[in-house]
């Protein structure tokens, strides 16, 4: 298969943590492919390796073995500096606890990402406002996280992840802190932004809710993607 046609292409990835007691094999040879515009769920119990896999795909960690291509770029060929730069420019991250800075407004939280990625001032302002609008929060731009609901805070985090116009968004348990109804809204929003912006979104979750919204469910068990029998 041509790597360049895929947003995310993971080949035989192993990740072994060297701990004092015994090595932990967190990923045992993972293969997966996600195309642009696809919203994909990575399902699995706690400890199955979801966070480890997302971290490897997002360049926060490196596999012990195997290869990862994002939009045709081989992550293993980049040195640490190149990988950091690549991550700032091409990847959006979303976390369970939103990860917003409490003293900054919604706008400033989004704009900070663009500062870190060294976007020029004008573009920072335009893009921050554009993506706050896309998540339905233009009127909340000047509010701080503590003035917002959990769902609104997660929307800010989504705007922040979108702001640098990444090729992929990696969302780790992004609905884990939200009530049922809000989780539905956020999943619908993920689906919309994946399609509208042609971004591949990989969402790690153990929630059955996700199946209604995603294009594909990948099941991770003990560090391996498994086929669940249909029915």
In contact, 4 and 167? CB cutoff 8 Å: no
User: DSSP H helical segments within 91-142, as ranges?
Assistant: 106-116, 121-134
- Site stretch for ligand ADP (CB under 6 A), options 42-50, 85-93, 162-170, 190-198: 42-50
Residues 6+ apart with CB under 8 A from 101: 108, 109, 112, 145
Please state the closest distance from residue 226 (CB atom) to ligand ADP, in A: 14
CA distance 177 to 175: 6
Instruction: Select the binding partner of residue 49 from Mg ion, ligand ADP, none (C-beta < 5 to 8 A, by kind).
Output: ligand ADP
Interface with Mg ion by CB under 5 A: which residues?
A: 50-51
Q: Binding ligand ADP by CB under 6 A: which of 7, 34, 44, 189?
A: 44
- Residue 109: CB atoms within 10 Å: 26
Please state the closest distance from residue 51 (CB atom) to ligand ADP, in A: 3
C-alpha pair distances (Å), 200 with each of 94, 103, 135, 151: 13, 31, 17, 22
- Site stretch for ligand ADP (CB under 6 A), options 40-48, 113-121, 124-132, 161-169: 40-48
- Residue 228: CB atoms within 10 Å: 9
- Site stretch for ligand ADP (CB under 6 A), options 44-52, 87-95, 133-141, 183-191: 44-52
**Rule CB under 6 A: is residue 217 a binding residue for ligand ADP?**
no
Q: Binding ligand ADP by CB under 6 A: which of 14, 16, 24, 184?
A: 24
Classify 230 as helix, strand or coil.
Answer: coil
Please state the closest distance from residue 124 (CB atom) to Mg ion, in A: 31
C-alpha pair distances (Å), 118 with each of 115, 165, 199, 229: 5, 13, 21, 47
Please, which residue, 26 or 168, has the CB nearer to ligand ADP? 26
Please state the closest distance from residue 228 (CB atom) to Mg ion, in A: 20
Please state the closest distance from residue 51 (CB atom) to Mg ion, in A: 3
The pattern of x and - marking residues 45 through 64 that bind ligand ADP according to CB under 6 A reads: -xxxxxxx------------
**Maximal CA-CA distance, the chain:** 53
The CB-side HSE value for 66 (13 A sphere, CA atoms) comes to 23
Applying CB under 6 A, the residues found at the interface with ligand ADP are 17, 19, 24, 26, 44, 46-52
């Amino acid at each position: 298969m041509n790597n360049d046609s895929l947003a995310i292409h993971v080949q035989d990835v192993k990740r072994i943590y060297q701990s004092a007691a015994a090595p932990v094999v967190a990923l045992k040879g993972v293969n997966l492919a996600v195309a642009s515009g696809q919203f994909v769920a990575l399902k699995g119990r706690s400890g199955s390796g979801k966070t480890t896999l997302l971290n490897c795909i997002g360049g926060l960690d490196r596999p012990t073995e195997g290869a990862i291509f994002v939009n045709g770029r081989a992550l293993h060929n980049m040195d640490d500096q190149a990988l950091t730069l690549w991550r700032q420019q091409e990847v959006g991250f979303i976390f369970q606890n939103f990860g917003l800075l409490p003293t900054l407004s919604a706008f400033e939280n989004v704009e900070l990402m663009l500062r870190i990625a060294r976007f020029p001032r004008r573009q920072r302002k335009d893009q921050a406002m554009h993506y706050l609008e896309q998540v339905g929060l233009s009127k909340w731009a000047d509010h701080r996280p503590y003035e917002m609901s959990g769902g609104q805070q997660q929307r800010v985090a989504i705007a922040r992840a979108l702001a640098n116009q990444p090729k992929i968004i990696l969302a780790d348990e992004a609905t884990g802190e939200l009530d049922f109804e809000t989780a539905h809204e956020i999943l619908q929003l993920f689906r919309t932004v994946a399609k509208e912006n042609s971004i591949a979104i990989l969402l790690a979750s153990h929630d059955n809710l996700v199946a209604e919204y995603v294009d594909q469910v990948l099941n991770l068990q003990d560090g391996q993607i498994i086929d669940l029998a249909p029915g």
